[in-house]
Amino acid sequence: MCGIVGYVGHRDCSDVLVNALSHLEYRGYDSAGIAVFENGDISVAKTKGKLINLTEKMKKEGKPKGIAGIGHTRWATHGEPSDINSHPHSGAKVTLVHNGIIENYKELKDFLIKNGRTFVSDTDTEVVAQLVDHYYDCINDPIKAIIRTTQDLRGSFALGIIFKDFPDTVFAIRRESPLVIGVGEGESFIASDVPAIIEYTKNYYLLEHDEIAVLSKDGIKVYDSHYQPIVKTLKTADWDVNAVGKCGYPHYMIKEINEQPTAIKNTVTPRIKDGMPDLSECNIDPDFLRKVKNIFIVACGTAMHSGMVGKYVMEDIARTPVTVDIASEFRYRNPIISSGDLIIIVSQSGETADSLAAMRLAKSKGAKTLAIVNAMGSTIAREADMLIYTHAGPEISVASTKAYMVQLSVMYLFAFQLAYAKGTIDEQKYKYYTSKLLETPDLVKDVIESTTEMAQKISTQLVSADSLLYIGRGLDYALSMEGSLKLKEISYIHSESYAAGELKHGTISLITPEMPVIAVATQSALYEKTVSNIKEVKARGAKVIMICKESDNVGEDVADFVLKIPNFEEILLPMLVCVPLQLIAYYTSVQRGNDVDQPRNLAKSVTVE
Ligand code: F6R
């Protein structure tokens, strides 16, 4: 977590850093700070809280003036959010910003204290600043000092470093945590992610582990960990500045909900050839699929919920056993996997620490790995054996919506191909499913329009609830999980998702008239069963909100509010049903006056365990 930026160029550096940080706040917003070369010295401005606090502070006290510097937005790990613990941190001649965690910071701190150093903060980052300073004192060469420092560090880091003795020069290095180097006209950038710099340049280098970049008025130089110069390949982002702006929407979340039809189109359409999915450019060989024995889908949070939908679909149509695992559990439970198995890692950011570790574990056990990732060039994308990029574009709201939607669309593409390869569906069915998937962008658009009003109405019912339940069976249960997570993370209302048939084994005792129940019942084969479960909660006083198909006749004895979605191929309905679930969460959060895009305690890119 945390976002770091750096700039060397001709513009007002404070403005560039603050603007770039505004696109990285999704990575954390416990504090913000910048350090800029000013009149031969380094000026630091930092404060706890969101970036807006920093801009307010600089309005009152003045902003550092210069053309080169570094900046940071924090998700606190070591030390509470406070002014003192805010980045940048400094030694005598060195100031730096850090994204990641230094696991052995305690022993390094002891070493530095023994060497006469004192500390002002509780952070692991200040230890790095003092260590670079210490080695710079000894070696007197900034790059050698950085290399020597990183030899001592255990953990993950992306660092932006400036030295008093090297004005208007920014040094950067990374291990595990991501970092890109932006290449502009007469200016250069560092950033944790491309959206931070897209307003200035679309061209960038991806820094690899332990590579060091030096940005100065002479341009960009990159060295390997032996201080040998290296030549990097220039990459170009294929989206524009609108992708990182709100474009008139009040929040990124609602903008991103509305971007879903386009995101599906971008993800699915290029992969259809002759009416069938073709994943050969993703290195997926139908012959390999035919032989796959077990599939594990491993991910965290929303990404894991897309895997739940994938499991139901793959098991149903491809008759292949699929286990869905939370990455943080999978990696430590000594899972039984072997070379005939496929591990699918799903991740929007491609940097989630637990998902990455799970993938590495699977590889070490000889299994093949397939990554479904949104962030281009991210670590998970680079290390997987097979890779399907989702093309959602940058997702900025912390609560994931469009990334989930395209993860679902890829689950279908993959499931259809798996089923065809295994011979559990014939060509006609294969083409039929594919043609239905191609209809989803337009349908999702319609559903956004047709369900918004009802979602708003429902949210007024939820706004003062303390707790609620989401229930469903089969695919509807998988969706309930995501609906519940979405609501709780942005509205701060406690909610649980439950398999509808499981309620009576304990949880039903929670039901009171004060506890709304959102029931999802879109699968014909399970409809009556779910309705029975709904009646059980209704009989105990619950207010029921039901999501079902247009053709379902729902009496008042079943539900107090009914939200209908179009009749459509049932296996694909999750792509439609997730829309009102997103909208209900969104409007509830708005009505509660919450910060929808930056909910408390969260960050989007979870690069710590
Ligand atoms: C919730 C949300 C998270 C992420 C999870 C995994 O809205 O966004 O639950 O899905 O942190 O992140 P990625 O997909 O980046 O691995």
3-state secondary structure of 402: helix
- pLDDT tens-digit series, residues 13-24: 999 999 999 999
Beta carbon of 256 within 6 Å of any ligand 1 atom: no
Q: Which amino acid is at 528?
A: E
Residue whose entry in the numeric block shows the structure tokens 């669309």: 409
DSSP state of 123: -
pLDDT, tens digit, for every residue of 401-424? 999 999 999 999 999 999 999 999
Neighbour tally for 557: CB within 10 Å = 11
Report CA(348)–ligand 1 centroid distance (Å): 7
pLDDT value, residue 605: 76
pLDDT of residue 607: 76
* Calpha distance 456→58 (Å, rounded): 39
pLDDT per residue over 156-177, tens digit each? 999 999 999 999 999 999 998 9
Q: Identify each DSSP E strand in 449-512 by its residue range.
A: 467-472, 494-499
Strands (E), 217-255: 219-223, 229-230, 235-236
CB-ligand 1 contact for 407 (6 Å cutoff):
no
Residues that are catalytic: 2, 604
Predicted local distance difference test score (pLDDT) of residue 66: 97
**Strand, coil or helix: what is 151?**
helix
Number of H helices, E strands in the chain: 17, 27
Number of residues that this document lists for the chain:
609
Span 105-128, pLDDT tens digits: 999 999 999 999 999 999 999 999
Q: Cα of 92 to ligand 1 centre, how many Å?
A: 39
Q: pLDDT tens, 321-362?
A: 999 999 999 999 999 998 889 999 999 999 999 999 999 999
pLDDT tens-place string over residues 365-390: 999 999 999 998 889 999 999 999 99
pLDDT for 238: 82
Give the N- to C-terminal CA distance of the chain in Å, as an integer. 11
> With bands split at pLDDT 50, 70 and 90, how would you rate the model's confidence at 89?
very high
Buried b (16+ CB within 10 A) or exposed e, 361-380: bbeeeebbbbbbbbbbbbbb
At residue 609, does pLDDT exceed 80? no
Among 199, 217, 172, residue whose Cα is nearest residue 66: 217
Residues 219-256: tens digit of each pLDDT: 999 999 999 999 999 999 987 777 788 999 999 999 99
Residues with Cβ within 8 Å of residue 71, at least 6 apart in sequence:
4, 5, 6, 17, 18, 20, 21, 32, 33, 34, 35, 88, 97, 160
Average pLDDT over residues 78-86: 91
Which pLDDT belongs to residue 39?
Answer: 93
pLDDT at 1 over 80: no
Cα 305 to ligand 1 centre (Å):
10
- Average pLDDT of span 544-571: 96
Task: Give me the domains of the chain, ranges plus CATH numbers.
Answer: 3-244 (3.60.20.10), 249-425 (3.40.50.10490), 449-594 (3.40.50.10490)
List b or e across 515-528, with b for residues whose CB sees 16 or more CB atoms inside 10 angstroms. Answer: bbbbbbbbbeebbe
| Rounded Cα distance, 45 and 29, in Å | 16
| Number of C-beta neighbours around residue 428 at 10 A | 8
